[in-house]
Amino acid sequence: MEITPDNQIFWEWRWVTLNATILYSWLVMAILVVGSWLGTRNLSVAPAPMSPWQNRLEMIVEQINIQIRDAVRQDPSQFLPFVGTLFLFIAVANLVTIFPVYESPAASLSTTTALALCVFVAVPYYGIKNIGLGNYLKHYLRPTPLMLPFNLISELSRILSLAIRLFGNIMSTGLLVAILVSIVPLFFPIVMRAFGILIGVIQAYVFAILAIVYIASGMRAQHQTQRPVNE
Amino acid sequence: MSNISLIGMVSIIMAGLTMAIGAIAPAIGEGLALANALRAIAQQPDQTNTITRTLFVGMAIIESTAIYCLVVSTILIFANPFWNYFTGQQAGGG
């Protein structure tokens, strides 16, 4: 029994291996890119009739915008590309598991670690961009300088838990379905697969929300000083 | 008892115990979180969206302790490093 799609190798040449994780990630990326390209070919504004695909894409973007605004209480436009991409990639990667041969690339620890490392880089990026290098470094010494090691550990451990959480949830669903197919092959695996898709979408949502919460916590200095001006 | 069978036995027993003990606390925690969220929704139905969102995020964080246990027991069963070490040693030495 395979516990991760890393072990399914389709093609190998010297040190280049093409395993299921990479292939299915490319598939998800192709779905996202081609879908968005087809949807945004003929954009139109209000008086002209709107194509159904433009309507759907606008709905998705608007919903993501609302969620980010609720989470950080400021203009979401600078976070939308990063957080929206994370959500859409994980959600589509898990939704495509409806098709039989496909396995979600999020069931591999390599994919989830890569996504978590993106968040690890994005936190100081948005922090330094918004509040400056000095203020960002100062937030490590926030309550007292004694807390410096704990702040550093929490910075690393939350990234680790972000990666392991997504991996564990998706991998356990795949494992559960694989075991059930060998015990009760007829009807029950379908129900568990549908349940797994629900879990996959919730985990995509949780991953994106946690990413935005971490990014917002790195910008907290600005948050406190600017709030009286904004509200 | 040989090293191999000892390692196999301890790994399987510990994999079961890891899940059994490790699932108790997150289950209690998630139950408490859900019960309190339902109570809050019953008192303030207008805030349902905010409460549900916070509940999902909080539950995912609580759940991660159970997921750690699952990952550890999966490693013990499917990718046990000690098992691989000793089977490799036996194949090489004997």
Instruction: Specify the DSSP element, H or E, that contains A9.
Output: strand A9-13
From chain B, the residues in CB contact with A205 under 8 A are: 56
**A199: closest chain B residue by CA:** B60
Q: What is the mean pLDDT of chain A?
A: 85
Distance between first and last Cα of chain A: 56
A&B contacts, CB < 8 Å? 43
Using pLDDT thresholds of 50, 70 and 90, give the confidence band for residue A228: very low
β partners of residue A17: A12
From chain B, the residues in CB contact with A157 under 8 A are: none
pLDDT of A226 reads: 46
Q: How far is A165 from chain B (nearest CA, A)?
A: 6
Helices (H), chain A: 20-39, 52-72, 80-95, 109-131, 133-138, 148-183, 188-218, 220-230
pLDDT of B88 reads: 81
DSSP secondary structure letter of residue A100: S
Contact B67 A168 (CB under 8 A): yes
Q: How far is B70 from chain A (nearest CA, A)?
A: 7
From chain A, the residues in CB contact with B74 under 8 A are: 3, 171-172, 175
Q: Does A205 touch chain B (CB under 8 A)?
A: yes
pTM score > 0.90 for this model?
Answer: no
Contact B74 A3 (CB under 8 A): yes
DSSP secondary structure letter of residue A110: H
**Buried/exposed code over A155-192 (b: 16+ C-beta within 10 A; e: otherwise):** eeebbebbbbbbbbbbbbbbbebeebeeeeeeeebeeb
Q: What are the 10-residue block averages of pLDDT along chain B, 94 residues in total? A: 84 93 93 95 91 85 87 86 81 62
